[in-house]
Chain A
C-alpha cells in the first residue's frame, strides 16, 4: 500500500514536470518575437567592415543547404589557416533547417539556397540574407542518341503539369527543327524532399509560364500537379540515379552534381533564356546571368537570378546564402568572427578561389554586389 502511494506521488512529479515543460516551450513559441526588434533600428551607414582575428577562439556553427555544404567544407580549413581563432563547423540538414536555426540563434550561420520570405523577415526584424557564391541548375534528360536538346521553361512547365506527355509533342519538335524525336512518354522526375533545387527550378517555371506561376508557383516544396507517370527522388545524387535508370525521363539537377550526370551519359538541355538563345550551364553563361541580375539586386540581397536577359545568360542561377540573425549574436568576438569569415569567403584572395569554386561548380559573386554584402555584414555588430 505504502509503495503504491509513493509510486503515485512519483507519477505526479514526473507528469507534472513534463507537462510544465511542455507548456513552457509552447508559450515561448507562440509569443511574438520581441528581442529581435532591437537590431532593426541599426541603419546601414558605412560600408567599411571591421575584420580580423578575434582575441579569443571562436567556433562558428553552420547548418543548412546540402548544396552549399561541400563548398563550406572546402572553406573551413582555409579560414582557420588565415585566422587561427576562427573555426567553422559546417553541417548539412536542408535550407529550411538552416533558416530556422539561424533565425532562432541555435547556430551562427544558416546555409540556404533560398532567401528569406517577407513573412520571415517580418517575424525576425534585422535578419540578413548574405550571398557568398553563385550556383546554377541543369536540366537533364535520358534519350539515347539525342544531344543538345533545346527546351524552354514554358515547355518544361507543361511537362511537369502533365499537358505535354511525349517527346515528339509538337511544342518540343518546334524547338528542335531537324531532330527526329521518339514517341516515348516523358517521365518527369522531381524531388520528394524539401529542396533548394525545387525552389530555383519552380522559380524558373513560374518566370516562364503564367499557368505555373498562378498554380504551383515556387517554393522548396510546391503543390506538384498530378502527373501519373511522374517519379520522385530524394536528394541530388538520387535524381541522377533515377534519371539514369529511366529512359524518357527528365530531371533538374544542381550543378555541383552535374559532373556525375554527364559522366553517366545523360543529356543536358540547352535552355532557352530571356533573350531567346539556347544555353547550357558553364562558368561563362552563369557569370553572364549573374552580371545581368546584379544590376537590380536590392539592399536586402533577396534577389532571384532567374531568367535574366542577355544572349549568354543561363536562366536558372541563384545566390547561395548564409542566413544570419544579428540580434542573436550577442558577443562582439563572435560578431567579429562572422564578419571576418564572410569577408574572407567572398574575397578572391581568400575563400572564393577558382579552385574552391570550380570544385562545386559555383561562380564568384559579381563585383557590383560586394558593396551591398559589405553593408549587410557591417550590421553584424554583436
Chain B
C-alpha cells in the first residue's frame, strides 16, 4: 500500500507536467498549422476581426479575418525584460548576501534577512500597482531623463520614454525587485554551508576577508548561484500581472530600452477574455500556442542551467579554483 501511495505521489509532478504539455500541444496545433514558422519570425499578433463576414483561411485552418499569430514581439519582450532583470538581480543578490554574511554585524543580519524574505512575500499585483502608480512615474520624470543623457557614453540608454514610465525598463526593474529574494535567499543558504574550516584556514594563511570571499566562498557557491539565478529567471519569464500593468502592452518589440512592448504571459492574461468570444475558436488555440512557447522557454532555460551546473561542478571541493 505504501509503495502505491509513494509511487503515485512521486509521479504526480511528472504526470502534471506531461498533462499540461500534452494539452497545450493538442490545443496549439491548429494555430501552429495556421502560422507555420512565421510564429517565430512575425512580430504581428492579432486575434482577428470577429465581426467581419470574411474569414482568413491558411493551410486549411479557418480563423477570424486578418488573424495573425506571430509571437516574435512577445518572445523579444519576455526575453529582454527577464534578462535585464536577471543581469541586475544576480550581482545585487550575491553582493548583498556576501555583505550580509561577511561584513555586516551579526545583530543586523537577522532583521535584514527577514526583510529579504518579506520582500519575497509581496504579491505580484502589489508590485504591479506600485510600479504603475509610484515607481513608473518617478522613473519617467526623474530617472529616465538623466539616464538618456548617459546615451552619449552608453548608446543603449538613448531614446524617448513614456511620461508615466510605462515600458520595458520599468518592468525589468520591478522584475528585478521580485526575483532578488529568490536568488538571495538561496544564495544565503549556500553561503552558510561554506565549510568554516576552509575559510578559517584561508584566514590563517594570512588572506584578507576579501580574498577569502573571492577564493573560498564564491567558488564554493558558484554552481548554486547559477541554479538560483535560473529559478529567478523562470519567475521573471512567467510573471504576468505586474508586467501587464507596467510594460505598456504595445503590440510591437520595444523601440528602445524604455519602449513599450508585451510579454507572452501578459498577453495571454490581457487577450484571453477577447479570445473566448471568437466564434471560430482559433483565438483560444493561439493563446494555447503562446502558453506552449512560454513553457518551452522555461524548459530550455531550466535544462540549459542544469547543463551549465553539471559542466562546472565536480566532485572535488571547488575551493581555490578562483586563484
Interface residues of A (CB under 8 A from B): 2-3, 6-11, 13-15, 18-19, 22-23, 25-26, 29, 93-97, 99-100, 112, 114, 116-123, 187, 192-194, 217-224, 226, 228-232, 234, 238, 241-242, 245-247
Contacts and interface: CB of A to CB of B under 8 A. Distances in A.
Interface string B57-87: 0000000101010000000000000000000
Interface stretch (B111-119, B172-180, B188-196, B275-283): B275-283
12 contacts: A3-B7, A7-B3, A10-B8, A11-B14, A93-B273, A117-B277, A122-B279, A194-B271, A217-B49, A232-B248, A232-B250, A246-B163
Nearest to B62: A119
A339 B132 CA distance: 44
Contacts of B14: 11, 15
Contacts of B301: none
B314 interface: no
Contacts of B244: 192-193, 234
B272 A117 contact: no
A228 B51 contact: no
Contact of B18 (A18, A117, A123, A231): A18
Contacts of B18: 15, 18-19
Given A96-B275, A119-B278, A231-B166, A14 B12 contact: yes
Given A96-B276, A193-B270, A231-B164, 20 more contacts: A9-B7, A10-B4, A15-B15, A22-B22, A26-B23, A29-B281, A117-B50, A117-B279, A119-B50, A119-B55, A123-B280, A194-B270, A194-B274, A219-B48, A221-B271, A223-B68, A226-B250, A232-B250, A246-B163, A246-B164
Interface in B123-140: 132-133, 137
Contacts of A121: 279
B277 A120 contact: yes
A19 B21 CA distance: 10
B6 interface: yes
A14 B15 contact: yes
B15 A100 contact: no
B51 A219 contact: yes
Contacts of B66: 217, 223
A78 to B, nearest CB: 28
Contacts of A99: 276-277
Nearest to A119: B279
B274 A229 contact: no
Contacts of B280: 119, 123
B26 interface: yes
Contacts of A116: 277, 279
B289 interface: no
Indicate the size class of the contact surface on chain B.
35 or more
Nearest to A192: B249
B295 to A, nearest CB: 15
Given A7-B7, A18-B16, A221-B271, A123 B52 contact: no
B7 A97 contact: no
The 6 closest A-B pairs by CB, nearest first: A119-B279, A10-B7, A7-B7, A94-B273, A194-B273, A194-B274
A95 B248 CA distance: 22
A222 B8 CA distance: 46
Contact of A13 (B8, B53, B252): B8
Instruction: Pick from A96, A221, A222 the residue with the most CB of B within 10 Å.
Output: A221
A7 B6 contact: yes
B47 A221 contact: yes
B108 interface: no
A231 B162 contact: yes
Nearest to B44: A223
Given A119-B279, A221-B271, A223-B251, A22 B19 contact: yes
A206 B260 CA distance: 25
B275 A7 contact: no
Contact of A224 (B7, B48, B251): B251
Contact of B6 (A3, A194, A218, A228): A3
A88 B244 CA distance: 32
Nearest to B3: A6
A346 to B, nearest CB: 24
B30 to A, nearest CB: 9
A85 B252 CA distance: 52
A222 B18 CA distance: 34
B273 A223 contact: no
Nearest to A189: B164
B250 A100 contact: no
A123 B11 contact: no
A192 B270 contact: yes
B308 interface: no
A334 B280 CA distance: 29
Nearest to A304: B51
A238 B252 CA distance: 22
B7 A15 contact: no
A320 to B, nearest CB: 15
B157 interface: no
B271 A7 contact: no
Contacts of B8: 10-11, 13-14
A232 B16 contact: no
Instruction: Pick from B27, B137, B274, B281 the residue with the most CB of A within 10 Å.
Output: B274
A26 B15 contact: no
B290 to A, nearest CB: 14
Contacts of B4: 6, 9-10
Contact of B19 (A18, A97, A221): A18
A66 to B, nearest CB: 10
Contact of B15 (A18, A25, A29): A18
Contacts of B15: 11, 14-15, 18
A284 B209 CA distance: 79
B274 A220 contact: yes
Contacts of A11: 7-8, 10-11, 14-15
Contacts of B276: 94, 96-97, 99-100
B160 A228 contact: yes
A187 B133 CA distance: 17
B17 to A, nearest CB: 10
Contacts of A217: 49, 51-52, 66
Nearest to A19: B22
Contacts of B55: 119
B181 to A, nearest CB: 25
Contacts of A118: 51, 53, 279
